[in-house]
Every structure is written in structure tokens, then in C-alpha cells.
A = this chain, B = another copy of it.
Amino acid sequence: MRIAQVAPLFERVPPVAYGGTERVVAYLTDALVELGHDVTLFATGDAQTQAKLVPAAQRSLRLDQACTDQMAPQVLQLELVSQVAHRFDVIHFHTGFLHLPLARHLAAPSVTTMHGRLDSPELVPLMREFTDAPFVSISNHQRRPFPGARWCRTVYHGLPPQLLPFKSRPGGYVAFVGRISPEKRVDRAIAIAGRAGLELRVAAKIDAVDREYFTREIEPLMRQPHVRYLGEIGDHEKSALIGGARALLFPIDWPEPFGMVVIEALSCGTPVLAWPCGSVPELIEPGVNGWIVNSIDEAVEALARVTAIDRAACRASFERRFTADRMARDYVGVYQRLRESSRGGFEARTA
């Protein structure tokens, strides 16, 4: 199939450091190429991809200090897609909502993957106007605010299987990976590890908005001897850190639409101990690849049982459900159905 992938322009594809959406687009695009499809990636000029690249800006906007107007390249990107839409069997947008009014007029069917949470009130009148726009959710939970939208499918994110290799023998510590922010609850991770008598290694970035929270609430907790703060780390260190952990702690307190680090852990064979928020119940199979807990007490208890979990079974759950190849095949199924039911825009409302 001739497939267009339309990425956000904020981070590189794949991102240099953080950046969830652009990372997924990178893995998906390369996996589609490997399946033999003819893929064109609309992204920034610094993207690294096996697909044909159509840049709408030279460099990712977050890295480009000279860029004073971030909207202009995004508008340009939409126009570039629009001009060649007829050359594609399907156009896959990852650009939020920006393209929706235009997508209705395009000369090819399109689908949009929602990458963020959908519970903000501004989306209600918008989604009311786009009941015919085909969407893909990244977890079933993510759909809850809009059960009546035209959901084609949930497609869970996937990773290249060699990215975070399986590690059969972990070290004696547990890990926390993410942002330091109130909804990520690193404070819970610190408490759990402390009560379990285990070292906690924390790899996390601190956004400017969370700096005060870090200083006031988290930094004092971090001074405890069982906590080791590593700052923000790259892909290679992440693999070593997560692979070496006895368990990943994922004590989130918000409806995270997809927990990327959960499947990163499973790729290493590392079981995950998580609170049942957002996508978690869809990713964790209790006793097979981790445990779902509702309190510090339950978490400490589960951690005592975590060695009962077979790390090879964790990796197997990853290979079965969370590889980039599986993600790409799921999307190809979505594309094929769209192609059968529509020649452009959102015209085929029966799909």
C-alpha cells in the first residue's frame, strides 16, 4: 500500500531524548517499510527513517531556537500533504486535531491516531463536529470521554524487539522511569522501595513546570539512602537500568492513555507493578507480567511476590502484543478497511 505518515514537528522522528508520539511514528513507519509498503513520512528534515521523507521544516521545532513561529511549519505540512493526497491509499495523521477540517476534503481516506488524553472540555464541541472522522485509540480506556466517535480500532504501541533486549537475571533494585510530576507519583515509588528494603533507581526528567514540585515535595524524599537519582537518561542507559531492575514501579495517578515505559520493561523481561489507571489494566496481566495494586501496602506485598513472575513470560507477553511489527500489522488492517470503504475525506460513514 502507498501510505503517508504525518508526524508532529516538535521532536525529531525518532526523538533525540523524550517525545512519545514521534517515537511511535518512527517505529511504525520503519515497521511498515519492512512489511513491504511504500511509505512517505511527513516530518522534519532531521528525521531518521527508512521511508521517503517530506520535510515541512529543516529541524524539529523544539530544537530550533531560531524558530519564532511554530504554527507556520505545521500549516505548511498540511498543505504539502493535501497537494499529494491523491498519491496515497491512506493518510495516517498523528498531529492531534489540527488537520481534521482539511482531512474531510482530501483526495484519500485518512485516519488519526489520538496520542493524548481526551478528557479536556474543549474537545467536546470539536468531537461533536467530527463524529464521522476515523480515529484509532491507543487504549480502550482512552476512548471513554467519546464512546460515540468513529473508533476504528485500538492499536497498542509497539517497539522494535531488539531495542530493549531481554535480560534474564536482574539486579537487586527496583526502577522508576518517567517525569517527576505530581501525576507520576515518584513519591509512591520511594515509599514502596523503602518499606520493601530495596534500592530505588530513578531516571526522570524534570520539566520547568514541575521544578517547584520537585524542590518542595520530592527532593527531600530523594535524600533517603535507598534512593538513587540518575537524572534524564538515554535509550542505552534506559535498557541497562530497566533490564537490571527486579521490577518497574509505575504508580501513576492519572489516566495515562498508554504507558510506554510499561512495554519497555516487558521487552527487557522486567515485571511491572502498577496502579490501575488509564491503560494499565489493558497492558498488565496480573501474575504473568506484573501486578496491579491499589495502595502502598498492596505494592509492598506484591513486590515480595515478584520473583514468582517468570521474566521469560514477561518478554513473551511483549513479543505477543507489543512489538512494532504487531503494531504495523494492526494498522495495515485499519488502512485496508478504510481503503475498501472510502475514496477520500470521511465520506464513508458506514465503515
Contacts and interface: CB of A to CB of B under 8 A. Distances in A.
A254 to B, nearest CB: 14
A104 B82 contact: yes
Interface in A95-117: 96-98, 100-102, 104-105
Contacts of A129: 76, 79-80, 83
A181 B28 CA distance: 47
A123 B80 CA distance: 14
Contacts of A76: 125-126, 129
A108 to B, nearest CB: 13
A147 interface: no
A67 B122 CA distance: 7
Contact of A72 (B56, B72, B82, B122): B122
Contacts of A67: 122
Interface in A59-115: 66-73, 75-76, 78-80, 82-83, 96-98, 100-102, 104-105
Interface magnitude class on chain A: 20 to 34
Nearest to A133: B79
A98 B126 contact: no
A224 interface: no
Contact of A100 (B75, B104, B121, B122): B75
Given A76-B129, A79-B129, A69 B123 contact: yes
Most buried by B among A57, A96, A97: A97
Contacts of A82: 101, 104-105
Nearest to A61: B122
Nearest to A83: B129
Nearest to A55: B125
A120 B75 contact: no
Contacts of A69: 120, 122-123
Contact of A102 (B70, B105, B123, B125): B105
A130 interface: yes
A101 B122 contact: no
Nearest to A123: B72
Interface of A: 56-57, 66-73, 75-76, 78-80, 82-83, 96-98, 100-102, 104-105, 120-123, 125-126, 129-130
12 contacts: A66-B121, A68-B122, A71-B97, A71-B98, A72-B97, A73-B126, A75-B97, A79-B104, A82-B104, A83-B129, A101-B102, A105-B105
